[in-house]
Amino acid sequence: MFLPTYPDSPTSPPAHTHAPAAPASVQRTLPQVSIGTGAVATVLVGGVVLTALLAAVAVTAISVAVAAVVLRSLLREHHRR
């Protein structure tokens, strides 16, 4: 029922009898990328904003660390007395 049926005699693929007169020249071009000034400005502004945010986070982390050290020192002095 589900058995494949095969042809009686195998046939060979047809042979090509003609050759091209001249080989086709292949021209490859690089894709043209046009970047507008708006895109460049957006990337620059985004970079500046991200850098400013990173600097703000770093300054906040340093100030919190200094405040923690000062509070720990003050509390240690208070417990010794």
At residue 20, the pLDDT reads 63
Q: Which residue has the higher pLDDT, 18 or 57?
A: 57
For the chain, what is the mean pLDDT?
83
At residue 62, the pLDDT reads 97
Residue type, 9: S
The secondary structure of the chain in percent helix, strand, coil, rounded to multiples of 5, reads: 55, 0, 45
Instruction: Round to whole Å and give the CA distance between 48 and 51.
Output: 5
Q: Does the pLDDT value for residue 51 go beyond 90?
A: yes
| Element of type H or E holding 72 | helix 37-80
Start-to-end CA span in the chain (Å): 99
Q: What is the pTM of this model?
A: 0.49
Sign of torsion, CA 60 62 68 74? negative
Assign 8 a pLDDT band (cuts: 50, 70, 90). Answer: confident
